[in-house]
Copies of this chain bind each other. A is one copy, B any other.
Amino acid sequence: MEYLQIHIVISEELYTKNPESSELGKKIVSRSIEMIDELGFEAFTFKKLGKSIGSNESSIYRYFESKHMLLVYLLCWYWSWIEYKLVFATTNIQSKEEKLSAAVDILTRKVDVDNSFSYIDEVILNRIIIAESSKAYHTKDIDTENEKGYYTVYKRVVQRVSNMVTELNPDFEFPHMLVSTVIEGAHQQRYFSEHLPSLTNVKKGKDTIVKFYTDLVFKVIK
């Protein structure tokens, strides 16, 4: 991808102190990504993170209210990044079909190159999204948090791709359902292919998941 001097801005609601404002903050974010991937979200703690980065548990709490809020921050970062990639990859495409196809590709493809967005490893972050993101919104606080706008970026991504669907077929009644089914489905299929392979038909080498969901989208909206 083209190298650009761009910067992902995260809503102030998601942190107590902006982790981008200091070296420690960035270290917290980048190491937390690695540790959540290694340990899983449940076994990951601020104490372990502090120890690992040579800092103190209490210092981490100055950036993030809780490990749940850190996870929400990471999701928001991820979806902002996807939104950027999505807009970048689809503007100036004339053909509506090609445009939607490019969008579905971005939503379903595995991230396997770290575009080195500063201190965040997008390959590992993608794995976290696949394995842990459902834990962020499957809580009893979902409604309050949704009102506070924690999931705005994700919803905007769904809206953008839904618009592409509607452009192609204005009569299609369920664009949001289709798009969120594809996004969440692709993540689940990636998880299943590694851990519960009999729930999938993933073939080695090829990216079956991208193919499956691309076909699905075009067949469903016809």
Measured CB to CB, the residues of A under 8 A from B are: 39-40, 42-43, 131-132, 134-135, 137-140, 142-143, 146, 151, 154-155, 158-159, 173-178, 180-181, 184-185, 188-189, 191-192, 195-196, 198-202, 208-209, 212, 215-216, 219-220, 222
In the complex, the count of this chain's copies comes to 2
Question: A139 and B180: CB pair below 8 A?
Answer: no
Interface contact B159-A195, CB-CB below 8 Å: no
Closest B residue to A186 by beta carbon equals: B181
The answer to whether A155 and B198 have CB atoms under 8 Å apart is yes
Q: How far is the CA of A134 from the CA of B192 in the complex (A)?
A: 12
The DSSP consensus for interface residues of chain A is helix
Of B42, B137, B140, B208, the residue contacting A43 (CB under 8 A) is: B140
Beyond A151-B196, A158-B198: 18 further Cβ-contacts under 8 Å? A40-B139, A40-B140, A42-B139, A134-B135, A137-B195, A138-B191, A146-B195, A173-B201, A174-B201, A174-B212, A176-B198, A177-B199, A177-B200, A177-B202, A177-B209, A180-B192, A184-B188, A219-B222
Contacting residues, chain B, for A191 (C-beta < 8 A): 138
Given A174-B201, A176-B198, A180-B192, decide whether A138 and B134 contact each other with a Cβ distance below 8 A: yes
Which residues of chain B have C-beta atoms less than 8 A from A178's C-beta? 212
Known: A177-B212, A219-B220. Contact between A138 and B131, CB under 8 A?
yes
Residues of chain B with a CB closer than 8 A to A212's CB: 174, 177-178
